[in-house]
Amino acid sequence: MKKVSIVIPVYNAASTLDRCLGSIFAQTYPNFEIIAVNDESKDESLSILQSYAQKDSRLSCYSIAHGGVSKARNFGLERATGEYLQFVDADDDLDERFLEKMIYLLESTSSDLAVCRFHHPFFKTYVENRTYDFSKPEELMALYQDCYGVVMPWNRLWRRECFTVPFDEEVHFSEDELGNLANLPNVKKAVSTNEYLYHYFFAKKEENAKEESCVNNIINSEAFWNNKTSFYYLGGRLVPKRKAIIERAIAEGTFPKECTDMPYYRLIDYCFWQMPAYIGMGIPEEGLAIENYHIFTEPDFIEGYRLREKYGFRLKPMTDAETKALAEKFTSVCYKIYREKGADENFKVAYAFISAFLKLFAEKIGTLDPVSFNAQKMLDLENNSTPEAIYVNSLL
């Protein structure tokens, strides 16, 4: 029975550690090691870890000087001895069959990486039961274009030998996405499941369990839409790093040359995937309309869509006033979609948001190539072929 190395960065997680560790020790797959890295917590986290380590030798506890989540993960990564690798956040928990099912997926499909869906109150995941052969550009890009197929560090299980590049300790937003991307060239085949096997903990605003969470810091900041500190702008700073990773992989032959436009995927798509969190947490519609207008006029956003013209569509030419008016209309439509469909587990709200944007802002200029996720959404709209397309067409 092969061993799983589970790396847990821990910072002020005393209120959630019991639940997190309990879910790991309850796994139906018993051969694992837990490498818990205490990042100089100020609460009782260390004593809780030490108590568990005394009871079960599978948990090793370390303490380091406070340096952030990437430093803690890298410290644990260096000490991982298993054939499989899993990262867990100290306030989350696992389905009891997480390891068993993810290992089965890896072994039954001879894959290097397994990805599952996760529970989150606002961010929605739509990965399906599928295998991806990365020797085919369209399949590599299919997983990368699924917003949570590559972003998060924890809804996945790696073969240990495929995770060779440490996390970038200089980056404090989306460092997990960069880490995944940097190691993706080592993957020849990936597999995903539509089962919810990971449970993300999201603290209420009055709680401070995620006091350093980017989500809370952004959403709780005053009128963030006026200061360009949201997900989009933080992600925009990472475009040069994404480019460097992808260009190096293409030069080394581990990514196909068709991936040249990938650095912009996360940047311009994530602004739509983030909106359910904004709306669900009560961001005012007028504020989000301003945020969207700012994003839609950013040079990087426009450049990202220009690079997608090879897939048969482009952004419509429009004046600044037209863009502002459509940004307000788009935002209003998204609030309506969220109110009416947000609770429907069978309706992909983020897909509907993207479809609404394309309906308002994009136009067909050739044969739509479904290798591009956006082109596929335009085909869905054209053919009225999905629940999201049908609904958006009825609204617009």
Nearest alpha-carbon partner for 33 in 71, 6, 68: 6
DSSP per-residue letters across 319-374: -HHHHHHHHHHHHHHHHHHHHHHTT-TTS-HHHHHHHHHHHHHEEE-S---TTSHH
> What's the rounded Cα separation, in Å, for the pair 52 and 271?
40
10 to each of 69, 88, 173, 221, how far by Cα in Å?
8, 10, 17, 25
Q: pTM for the full model?
A: 0.93
Contact 9, 72 (CB under 8 A): yes
Percent of the chain exceeding pLDDT 70 equals: 95
> What's the rounded Cα separation, in Å, for the pair 291 and 113?
35
Structural element, H or E, at residue 50: helix 45-55
Nearest alpha-carbon partner for 7 in 60, 48, 45: 60
221-251 pLDDT, tens digit per residue, is: 777 888 888 888 888 889 999 999 999 999 9
174-194 pLDDT, tens digit per residue, is: 899 999 999 999 999 999 999
When the pLDDT of each residue in the chain is averaged and rounded to a whole number, the result is 92
pLDDT interval class at 165 (50, 70, 90)? very high
Structural element, H or E, at residue 156: strand 156-159
Q: What is the pLDDT of residue 215?
A: 63
> What's the rounded Cα separation, in Å, for the pair 116 and 350?
18
Sequence ranges of the domains in the chain? 4-199, 214-395
pLDDT at 212 over 70: no
352-393 pLDDT, tens digit per residue, is: 999 999 999 999 999 999 999 999 999 999 999 999 999 999
Helix (H, G, I), strand (E, B) or coil at 190: strand
Compute how many other C-beta atoms are within 10 angstroms of the C-beta atom of residue 267.
23
Q: Which tokens is 359 given?
A: 């309906």
CATH 3.90.550.10 assigned to domain 4-199? The reply is yes
pLDDT at 206 over 60: no
361-370 pLDDT, tens digit per residue, is: 999 999 999 9
